[in-house]
Amino acid sequence: MRSLGRHILVEFYDCDPVALNDLSLVESAMKEAAVVAGSTIVDSVFRRFAPHGISGVVVIAESHLAIHTWPEYGYAAVDLFTCGEKVDPWAAHDHLQEVFRARDSEYKELARGELRVLGENACHKPKGSLGPVPHQAG
């Protein structure tokens, strides 16, 4: 891997509009996609809008998966951002395409944190790196 992470921007077209407007289904599909990709779920938040549409994010230890749906157009915009070499964002893509019954998808894959800029000795979690910051009540 020549970067810290991979970010796949997905356009799912001609999806099942009922599925795209089902909060429970969208949330479970996104969490399942994170698991199928081999990531570790940290937290998630999803919201249904009136009259239709859902937005949500699954925070994973390796970055995030996010979705915004437009059921009236059969369309979903999905971000699959994963870091490290053990997580497969394409497995998440394939899972979501199946669940939403998307007949078509387009994507752009970006390398995030390119090592040519950060330096050849950079790695995903350098030894002695900072760990998670504990939550502080404020």
Kindly list the catalytic residues.
Answer: 63, 68, 83
Name residues whose C-beta falls within 8 Å of residue 87's C-beta, 6 or more positions apart in sequence.
Answer: 37, 38, 39, 60, 62
Q: Which one-letter amino acid corresponds to residue 43?
A: D
Give yes or no for a contact between 16 and 86, defined as CB atoms under 8 angstroms apart: no
Report the C-alpha dihedral over residues 16, 12, 96, 112, rounded to 10 degrees: -160
Name residues whose C-beta falls within 8 Å of residue 104's C-beta, 6 or more positions apart in sequence.
Answer: 12, 13, 14
How far apart are the C-alpha atoms of 98 and 16, rounded to whole Å?
Answer: 10
